[in-house]
Amino acid sequence: MPVFDLFNPSEEHAMLRRTVREFVRDQVEPQALVHDQQERFNLPLFRQLASLGLFGITVPLEYGGAGMDAVAAVIVHEELSASDPGFCLAYLAHSMLFVNNFYRNANDEQRRRYLPKVISGDWIGGMCMTEPSAGTDVLGMKTFAVRRGDYYYLNGRKMFITNGALDDTTPGDIFLVYAKTEKGISSFVVESRFPGFSLGQRLHHKTGMRASMTAELVFEDCAVPVENRLGEEGESLLHMMRNLEIERVTIAAMATGIAGRCVEIMTRYASERTAYGQPINSFGQIQRYIADSYAQYMAARTYLYHTASKLDLDRPGQRIDSDGVKLVATTMAKQVADNAMQVLGGYGYFGEYVVERLWRDAKLLEIGGGTLEAHQKNITKDLTRRLDVIR
Amino acid sequence: MKILVTVKRVPDPETTIRVKPDGSGIVTDNIKYVINPFDEIAIEEALRIKEKQGQGEVVLVSIGAKVASEQLRTGLAMGADRAILVLCDQELDSLGVARILAKIVEKEAPDLVLMGKQAIDDDANQAGQMLAALLNWPQATFASKVEFMDNYVQVVREVDGGLETVRFPLPGIITTDLRLNEPRYASLPGIMKARKKEIREIAVAELGIDTTPLLTVHKMDPPAKKAAGKKVESVQELVHLLHTEAKVI
């Protein structure tokens, strides 16, 4: 009887990891450095993820997806991020924030209309929540939609939107946009060709994640057909909560992907690099970096897979751990990347040795998809109400 | 067309192989296993033939322990239709493998057998040739291009110093070389579909053949460690040493 493998709970999960790892080794890794340096999104490579069937990973088979679970999504993010977190962030925005989020909240007609376009990668999507003056305080959003006849008219601006642009001038194709309406927060599927939609600032000079494009999107009396509203008016706070859970869990997976790679790099380097006539891994100071990094990585990774295996994609209610694992894993990844750079010394500070890029990329994970402070707020609130989770 | 493709479970070429101190074999702890890369090319070619012809069946066959079903499952996820696993715990030589495959060919009656030209673990490069002899079928080894004509198959072979084009009528055997194609990745839908595909297990004893090896491995030695390089002061010295010491010019 084989021992249960938390990180690959079924043969399908193990095969998925193997396929993605091979793809990453052959196709993703060789292009990562240059796309980071040039702040370019590799759209042709991105579309190859569609031929692997990865865009509809959590969408049931009957809608053209792969019908897999949160653990599968975690595996893909972990493997992509071990090589190119920026590229992985674009994947997260498309496959989780748009495709999965849309599938969970759309009706059948909407699913049939849009899923084939986004699962095939013909259209690239994203999600719009944050605004120039509203981040963690999401209910402070100013974008609003007013219904007139068969259309809603959207006005407002959305900020830091991953896949908002595909290059300097081309916007992404389709967005799930949250906006205030008469009855509360609602969400809309907005195609970038709708009148009143425009690409605002293309945001350059990010610290990391430079292989994904970030933009501001502007809505000026943007006309959205009523049949593009997801669910009923005012229902979308629930949609948002449900989506944030898988978003946070997959961001945590990006963090463990980064950390695992850093542990690998520093361990190998320390066994090869010599000082005072011996490999540097014979020094206690270096051993501490390696051992602490590995143990913290495994602790976070175990929490991650535990959380993912319990995550129900159809309903919210697991926020305490989706926030908990993101809080733990992202801070761990930043620390482990820093440890790796310290072990590599001067070499670690240069792009060729990979750690430098992962070190920059790791920081975003403490901010995007919910700041550390948002997780601290949520966890305290949920824990106070439900202290029984400890037992 | 029915195509039988052989699949061998071998250590991942990227793993570091260590020879046991007593030379009796390699250390197998913590080794990752993959489909023999040449067999992967054979699977890809079979799938392309089926896709091009719009019909047919691709059947995989592996010989070994139960764990070889992992590699068969990967081949099924690439798109093969079903698989056969001949369960066999004993060590086999190439002739034993060829005899087992001959029995499977007898049962399955494929139009074509596609095999890797060799397995990257023992590099024997014999099973395909021996199978052709046992079946008295035509063979084309080291294929870099396969094309189907009206009533024969045309194969371009990579031979020393160039290419050789051969033709034979089916049924026959083709062994694949590195440049024949670039195998696809198992897609996620492919992985999900593979779960429902059949892997039929046959105990080697059921086949009623003698697989006692004629060839046994007596000893394995790791390759000699590379000696450290030498720094030279000038081009003159380099040329001199290349001539007198390395004897390459």
Cα A41 vs. chain centroid, distance in angstroms? 15
Indicate yes or no: CB of B74 within 8 angstroms of CB of A18.
yes
Closest C-alpha among A128, A243, A236 to residue A175: A128
B213 within 8 A of B92, measured Cβ to Cβ: yes
Q: What is the CATH number of domain B2-222?
A: 3.40.50.620
Residue A55 covered by a domain: yes
A112 pLDDT higher than 70: yes
Indicate yes or no: CB of B185 within 8 angstroms of CB of A15.
no
Question: Which chain B residues are closer than 8 Å to A22 by Cβ?
Answer: 185
If you measure CA to CA, which chain B residue comes closest to A22?
A: B185
Count: domains in chain A: 3
Indicate yes or no: CB of B192 within 8 angstroms of CB of A61.
yes
On whether any CB of chain A is under 8 Å from the CB of B73, the answer is: yes
Co-location of A271 and A342 in the same domain: yes
* Candidates A11, A16, A22; nearest CB to B188: A16
Q: What is residue B203's three-state secondary structure?
A: strand
Residue B24 has a pLDDT of: 87
- pLDDT by 10s per residue, chain B, length 249: 999 999 999 999 888 889 999 988 889 888 889 999 999 999 999 999 999 999 999 999 999 999 999 999 999 999 999 999 999 999 899 999 999 999 999 999 999 999 999 999 999 999 999 999 999 999 999 999 999 988 899 999 999 889 999 999 999 999 999 999 999 999 999 999 998 999 999 999 999 999 999 988 889 998 888 888 888 899 999 999 899 888 888
On whether any CB of chain B is under 8 Å from the CB of A15, the answer is: yes
Q: Considering chain A, what is the average pLDDT of its residues?
A: 96
Question: Which chain B residues are closer than 8 Å to A52 by Cβ?
Answer: 185, 187-188
Q: What is the CATH number of the domain that holds A136?
A: 2.40.110.10
Co-location of A259 and A377 in the same domain: yes
On whether any CB of chain A is under 8 Å from the CB of B190, the answer is: yes
A2 pLDDT higher than 70: no
Indicate yes or no: CB of A15 within 8 angstroms of CB of B194.
yes
On whether any CB of chain B is under 8 Å from the CB of A66, the answer is: yes
Summarize pLDDT for A174-203 with one digit per residue, the tens: 999 999 999 999 999 999 999 999 999 999
Final residue before a domain boundary, out of A119, A137, A169 = A119
Residue B224 has a pLDDT of: 86
Residue A5 covered by a domain: no
If you measure CA to CA, which chain A residue comes closest to B188?
A: A53
Q: Report which secondary-structure segment, H or E, holds B85.
A: strand B82-87
A281 pLDDT higher than 60: yes
Tokens describing residue B220:
């394995």
Final residue before a domain boundary, out of A230, A245, A270 = A230
Residues in chain A: 391
Question: Which chain B residues are closer than 8 Å to A67 by Cβ?
Answer: 192
The per-residue DSSP string of A309-321 comes to HH--TTS---HHH
Residues of A forming the active site: 247
Residue A3 covered by a domain: no
How far apart are the C-alpha atoms of A175 and A276, rounded to whole Å? 57
Q: What is the CATH number of the domain that holds A346?
A: 1.20.140.10
Q: Are strands B172-176 and B112-116 parallel, antiparallel or unpaired?
A: parallel
Q: How many CA atoms are closer than 13 Å to the CA of A75, on its beta-carbon side?
A: 27
CA distance to partner chain B, nearest, from residue A309 (Å):
18
Co-location of A220 and A364 in the same domain: no
Co-location of A304 and A383 in the same domain: yes
Final residue before a domain boundary, out of A119, A140, A162 = A119
Co-location of A258 and A336 in the same domain: yes
Summarize pLDDT for A54-81 with one digit per residue, the tens: 999 999 999 999 999 999 999 999 999 9
If you measure CA to CA, which chain B residue comes closest to A17?
A: B188
Summarize pLDDT for A4-32 with one digit per residue, the tens: 899 999 999 999 999 999 999 999 999 99
Go through B77-108 and write b for each residue having 16 or more CB atoms within 10 A of its CB, e for each that does not: bbbbbebbbbbbeeebbbbbbbbbbbbbbeee
- Report the alpha-carbon angle B242-B245-B249, nearest 5: 35
Co-location of A115 and A154 in the same domain: no
Summarize pLDDT for A208-257 with one digit per residue, the tens: 999 999 999 999 999 999 999 999 999 999 999 989 999 999 999 999 99
Interface probe for A, chosen from B191, B195, B199 (most Cβ of A below 10 Å), is B191
Number of neighbours of residue A220 by Cβ within 10 angstroms: 13
Co-location of A216 and A240 in the same domain: no
Q: What ipTM was estimated for this complex?
A: 0.81
Tell me the count of A-B CB pairs closer than 8 A: 44
Domain extent, residue A105, equals 11-119
On whether any CB of chain B is under 8 Å from the CB of A68, the answer is: yes
Co-location of A19 and A89 in the same domain: yes
Co-location of A102 and A138 in the same domain: no
On whether any CB of chain B is under 8 Å from the CB of A271, the answer is: no
Residue A6 covered by a domain: no
Co-location of A379 and A307 in the same domain: yes
**A96 pLDDT tier (thresholds 50, 70, 90):** very high
On whether any CB of chain B is under 8 Å from the CB of A12, the answer is: yes
Residue B15 has a pLDDT of: 85
On whether any CB of chain B is under 8 Å from the CB of A52, the answer is: yes
CA distance to partner chain B, nearest, from residue A236 (Å):
31
Rounded average pLDDT over A263-285: 97
Indicate yes or no: CB of A52 within 8 angstroms of CB of B187.
yes
On whether any CB of chain B is under 8 Å from the CB of A11, the answer is: yes
Co-location of A180 and A278 in the same domain: no
Co-location of A20 and A64 in the same domain: yes
Residue B247 has a pLDDT of: 85
Q: Report which secondary-structure segment, H or E, holds B115.
A: strand B112-116
